[in-house]
Chain A
């Protein structure tokens, strides 16, 4: 029996496995990264991978902008253009913003709640590897998805149906080739990664908090992670169903979206947006959480209206399930449905506004230090406000009939996702970089990065609003002269290159900062939350002793007290910067027993791309065996997981 063989491996195999785990535990060499289950290392890998895909998606954006710089350009042909904008959207949503958020979940959440790791460290590693393989699998379609010819002859094979993949355009009949199959399987694999992460962080936050860390003593970023994770585990299954249906239609001739058999294309749209609108909040809520951490730290005041900020986040999450049809106003839903979804969409503006007002009130009366993280957080507030207000404009059904599918929509969601999510995430990078590298990021380069990005952002996306008013449609590979689009498009293209410059500055900054000799210390920003109580970078076990939490902003409360006059003063001499004494105190950690490194999560993830490839090419007898190969790898992963002890 197979079970017996796995249970009693030959002694040599067992010995080899044991050595591998020991090697992983040394924290040195490539092997230790492949087998790591340390949330901090997984977070770093998430961040680095997301940054790589950010460059890929950014290059796609620059090609798009070059093609649209002037009327009638032919830098790329319509087919290439469609594949590029599809992958730009898909990459930025699923391979950049979501994993960048996941990077922060991994890096920060256990530290913020005073835990030594997440609830399921191996599942965490599994999430990362699955994300990596899913992203690579989908991107491979550029080279393998086009039967017409090779990538190097200009035949891109990437999917060409848009990130929204509206059926029936995505059916075989209208999108031959395998690009869409790669897209659908890629999203399924990425969905597994996201859901595994979602489960893990919910359990971690609900169950793994340090003593005294009640729910309402949790930092807002922890709250937003919890809310986002719930959105993920409920939204992802819906897109999973839709993707399976699409794949059954494409691969096996099923009829889900076959109009001639009585199917309706609107089924896809309803399912996609029932997933898609919560997804929008999956992208933005983590950034809101980061902003809610950065503002208090750099104004030296607690977050104003903490419970209201938390509850407005929860309210947004609930309401996000009742607004999906505002993506479908023009599909002919009828006046009643359009009215209902119009009003629900207007109302989701309320909790969003509450957050903005509370952030302003947090800054009010503070002592604001204009470091790079704060600049990004403030940029977030400004740009997100524009995004929110343009969102209100879109919710008004009749005027949206004019705006739907124009560049006004493109402008709107880039306000939210770049000016909002990405600004917030960059703020988070500058904020937590010293915690995990031990080095502060260079402030001058940081300021340059921010201002270049801020100016480039406005130059890129504000003209798009005007383009929308002038009637320029989205997803158009070119436009005619004489429609008045040229000037604004040129502005936008120039802006895109300013953003590219700012990203280059950021990358230089990372390198420069890593090579800097100056140490950041445990608490360079005079922070308020638990992660600043431990050395930078944190030891493997995070906390030598699990902290006892007594209030919100516990770390701040340990540093500052109120004197008789009611003023807040440092609790001891040196106060704010006097907490570095833990830096060299490595003693406590040696007896802490941590879960062992494991290669199993990587193996368990590795089966999925094989299975997907096998199904895509199932009618090719040479490729069909990939299905059993993938199944065996997966089974080895699963049984290995079940039988391998978590710790040794």
Chain B
């Protein structure tokens, strides 16, 4: 494997940056444009819905609509996701010092926090649905569900990656030599986390 001239992380690169890491950075840069388009659409349509429900309390033509957003609840789930970035860092730090048990614990913790966030999102979606907000009801429903849904899909993929790594770690297949696998997963995970911070700020907090 060490002789392979092309693929391997071990291969010396012109920049000194591992090929896979560069790939991940490029992928995430590309993802910025994807989420940029989604978030931009949401902001463009923020005040364009011609009928309710609406995200925040408002009075239109003398009719009062109560807003759907539950900021304290979403703050908690955002905090959960933020914490998962911390545990992700701890997972990488663990395997770098070849602490395989630490790796397992922190990978599992990260995945659990991610799943908690997803559960929160499912709960939120259900609540909104019960309040009459669907993909078809108005522009808010359309742009909100598609934006946060795609983010949720990214988190789900991240959880899948984390669980796969956790299985590998339990079987002793991850060592400090191939810690790059954990680092790459971490890059992705942090990115998804940061995107949520942006969404939380622009969509929920700034009205």
Contacts and interface: CB of A to CB of B under 8 A. Distances in A.
Given A233-B29, A261-B50, A271-B37, A207 B13 contact: yes
B38 A241 contact: yes
A595 interface: yes
B41 A241 contact: yes
Given A119-B19, A256-B142, A199 B34 contact: no
A253 B1 CA distance: 52
Given A254-B142, A261-B139, A207 B30 contact: no
A110 to B, nearest CB: 9
Given A115-B6, A119-B23, A207 B136 contact: no
B48 interface: yes
A244 interface: yes
Interface string B37-65: 11001001100111000000000000000
A546 B11 CA distance: 14
A234 B3 CA distance: 34
B164 interface: yes
Contacts of A29: none
Interface in B1-30: 1, 3-8, 13-15, 17, 19, 22-23, 26-27, 29-30
B135 interface: yes
Contacts of B142: 248, 254-256, 261
Max count, chain B CB within 10 A of own CB: residue among A195, A261, A541: A261
Contact of A254 (B15, B17, B38, B146): B146
Interface string B53-87: 00000000000000000000000000000000000
A332 interface: no
Nearest to A635: B160
A262 B45 contact: yes
Contact of A208 (B1, B14, B38, B45): B14
Given A261-B138, A263-B139, A207 B19 contact: yes
A624 to B, nearest CB: 18
Interface string A237-267: 1101110110010001111100011111001
Interface string B129-165: 0000001101101110010001000000000000010
A595 B6 contact: yes
Max count, chain A CB within 10 A of own CB: residue among B33, B34, B37: B37
Nearest to A210: B14
B146 A248 contact: yes
A241 B37 contact: yes
A121 B7 contact: yes
Nearest to A116: B5
A195 B33 CA distance: 13
Contacts of B37: 237-238, 240-242, 271
Nearest to B47: A262
Contacts of B8: 646-647
B5 A594 contact: yes
Contacts of B1: 645-647
Given A119-B7, A241-B34, A262 B23 contact: no
B38 to A, nearest CB: 6
A261 B52 CA distance: 11
Interface residues of A, number: 56
A206 interface: yes
A207 B4 contact: no
Contact of B7 (A4, A120, A271): A120
A255 B49 CA distance: 10
Contacts of A234: 29-30, 33
A642 interface: yes
B5 A3 contact: no
Given A119-B6, A203-B19, A595-B6, A237 B31 contact: yes
A206 B22 contact: yes
A114 to B, nearest CB: 11
Interface in A99-141: 115-122
A203 B23 contact: yes
A237 B68 CA distance: 30
Contacts of A120: 7, 19, 23
Nearest to A256: B142
Contacts of B44: 264, 267
A115 B12 CA distance: 12
Max count, chain A CB within 10 A of own CB: residue among B14, B17, B44, B146: B14
14 contacts: A7-B171, A115-B6, A122-B7, A203-B19, A207-B13, A207-B17, A233-B29, A237-B31, A240-B37, A248-B142, A262-B48, A262-B139, A263-B45, A592-B3
Given A117-B5, A639-B164, 11 more contacts: A203-B19, A206-B22, A207-B13, A238-B34, A238-B37, A244-B146, A255-B138, A261-B49, A262-B139, A594-B6, A595-B6
- What are the 3 closest A-B residue pairs judged by CB atoms, nearest first? A241-B37, A207-B13, A237-B34
Interface of B: 1, 3-8, 13-15, 17, 19, 22-23, 26-27, 29-31, 33-34, 36-38, 41, 44-45, 48-50, 135-136, 138-139, 141-143, 146, 150, 164, 167, 171
Interface of A: 1, 3-4, 7, 115-122, 195, 198-200, 202-203, 206-209, 233-234, 236-238, 240-242, 244-245, 248, 252-256, 260-264, 267, 271, 541, 546, 592-595, 639, 642, 645-647
